[in-house]
Amino acid sequence: MYDLLILNATLVNEGHLTKADVAVEGQRIAAIAPDLSSAPAKQVIDATGLHLMPGMIDDQVHFREPGLTHKGDIATESAAAVAGGITTYMEMPNVDPLTINAQALEDKYQRAAGRSRANFAFYLGASNDNLEEIKNLDPQAACGVKVFMGASTGNMLVDNPETLEAIFEHAPILVATHCEDTPMIAANEEAAREKYGEDVPFSEHPKIRSEEACWKSSSYAVGLAKKHNTRLHVLHITTAKELELFEPGALKGKRITAEACVHHLWFSEEDYERLGAQIKCNPAVKRKEDRDGILQALTEGRIDIIATDHAPHTWEEKQGSYFKAPAGLPLVQHALPSLFDHYHAGRLSLQTLVQKACHNPAEAFEVKDRGYLREGYFADLVLVDLQATTEVTKESILYKCGWSPFEGHTFNSRIVTTLVNGGFAWHDGELGQNIHGQRITFNR
Ligand code: DOR
């Protein structure tokens, strides 16, 4: 007797669209077959007309715990994540205290246990003086080592060249970098301050956090990785120019991979006038040509992974002038819907979408038994209706910060059901009654 049967869905998986039935037993996928309709099951979903895919694995979120929980916390932001079809997230170390040692990492796993609706893993943060922590890191204790090679929210800049060399040489697991050249940005900020005073228009953000600043830092990271054969993952690429640093093609075998985030695939320079601080983020939203170049790089394979960089700040904090308003925007609830809009517009195939948002994060981080629709894998599943719509209203927003840069937009899809480890995390517009998120493990 299966716990759940999902009948008649179109599966999007491993490069194919296939009509099939899926059976779930306990936390795992028990069977995938053309017709399971006569198998006994406790519960049956008729998914005729719906698409079934693995849940999104978001390799870059900021859930603000501990220390910054007025902006968001693990319970609130993971609820928004499952409503958006994200079943696993990897969370960043720029919290308070910083996640820069084994003890701080374990504290986060304990906080998430029993409170996170989605599965979770945490990054160990690098600093200018925690090399020993990095060298001694247990490969099961973190998804990756995060290195801020450019300063952003939180005081985590690593700018000592010897330290960077040593991190790239000795990190025992994947190194994920934020790449922007801080001295260049500081000079641009100074020039903007001279020109505008405190009231710098938000449209200056991509000129201050410039293409050159991204290029200088990304090419530095790629150079270091080539020198030391580091497993490098460059986060949130924002310029078409940086794409030449990355190889096209499949992820398998690559030592250097790159990520794009949903807001950089959606917004462009033209949106600063309407949205101002709401789309101020680091690295900055840049030109239309950059956005379109990055979208194309998904299909070419120069960009391997799509993530969110979900980074909530309160509405009040965002009301500050240019230098005061913090960088970052909340995204997890609408990441997949935004990608399905790209699909409807002919910019992204469903197969590529699932590869970049589900399969490749599992491959890049060596996640065990997740990221695919496969018998024996965890039942982290999303049913999506590509014919229905999702209107982004204030009332429907689950983030603690209570706002979204997409407010007023109607997406051409609806996340109908999200299963996490076989449990209903989201169904028909409601959060599940139980918490199903687990600490993920790695094939390493
Ligand atoms: O815009 C951003 N916000 N970029 C980052 O790198 C950090 C993030 C945050 O934590 O707010």
Confidence of residue 154 (pLDDT cuts 50, 70, 90): confident
Confidence of residue 385 (pLDDT cuts 50, 70, 90): very high
Confidence of residue 153 (pLDDT cuts 50, 70, 90): confident
Cα 401 to the center of its chain, rounded Å: 18
pLDDT tens-digit profile of 4-60? 999 999 999 999 999 999 999 999 999 999 999 999 999 999 999 999 999 999 999
Q: Assign domain 55-364 to its CATH superfamily.
A: Metal-dependent hydrolases (3.20.20.140)
Average pLDDT over residues 280-298: 98
Quick one: pLDDT at residue 132?
Answer: 98
- For ligand 1, atom 10, the nearest C-alpha belongs to 153
Q: What is the DSSP letter of 423?
A: E
| Closest of 313, 269, 403, 234 to residue 62, by C-alpha | 313
Quick one: pLDDT at residue 379?
Answer: 99
pLDDT tens-digit profile of 233-267? 999 999 999 999 999 999 999 999 999 999 999 99
- Atom from ligand 1 closest to the CA of residue 281: 1
Average pLDDT over residues 117-122: 99
Which residues, in sequence order, are CB contacts of 223 under 8 Å at separation 6+?
none
**Residue 2, pLDDT above cutoff 90:** yes
pLDDT tens-digit profile of 189-210? 999 999 999 999 999 999 999 9
| Closest of 292, 295, 325 to residue 311, by C-alpha | 325
3-state per-residue secondary structure call for 236-256: CCCCCHHHHHCCCCCCCCCCE
Alpha-carbon gap, residue 88 to 111, rounded angstroms = 16
Show the CA angle centred on residue 60, arms to residues 57 and 64, nearest 5°.
115
Average pLDDT over residues 282-303: 98
Cβ of 311 closer than 6 Å to ligand 1, yes or no, is: yes
Q: How many angstroms separate the alpha carbon of residue 61 from the centre of ligand 1?
A: 9
Pair 334, 378: CB distance under 8 Å: no
Tell me which of 2.60.40.1120, 2.30.40.10, 1.10.10.10, 3.30.450.20 is the CATH number of domain 4-52+377-431: 2.30.40.10
- For ligand 1, atom 3, the nearest C-alpha belongs to 328
Q: Where are the domains of the chain?
A: 4-52+377-431, 55-364
Quick one: pLDDT at residue 272?
Answer: 98
